[in-house]
């Protein structure tokens, strides 16, 4: 995971948020609730 992706994941986790991204595979191991807006 890149530093930027790690920072995004940390911000989402600290704030109890969901993470919207096209790159689901980059964030699967974070345990966050992921949303792909392009799949709706």
Q: 13-40 pLDDT, tens per residue?
A: 999 999 999 999 999 999 999 999 988 7
- Structural domain including 24 reads 3-39
pLDDT the model gives residue 28: 94
Query: What does pTM read for this prediction?
Result: 0.80
pLDDT the model gives residue 39: 83
DSSP codes joined into one string, 3-24: HHHHHHHHHHHHTT--EE-S-H
Number of structural domains the chain divides into:
1
pLDDT the model gives residue 26: 93
Half-sphere exposure of 3 (CA within 13 A, CB side): 0
- Name residues whose C-beta falls within 8 Å of residue 38's C-beta, 6 or more positions apart in sequence: 22
Task: Tokens for 33, please give them.
Answer: 């609730």
Task: Tokens for 13, please give them.
Answer: 């986790």
């Amino acid at each position: 995971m890149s530093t930027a992706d790690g920072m995004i994941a940390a911000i989402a986790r600290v704030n109890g948020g969901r993470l919207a991204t096209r790159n689901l595979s980059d964030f699967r191991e974070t345990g966050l609730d992921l949303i792909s807006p392009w799949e709706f």
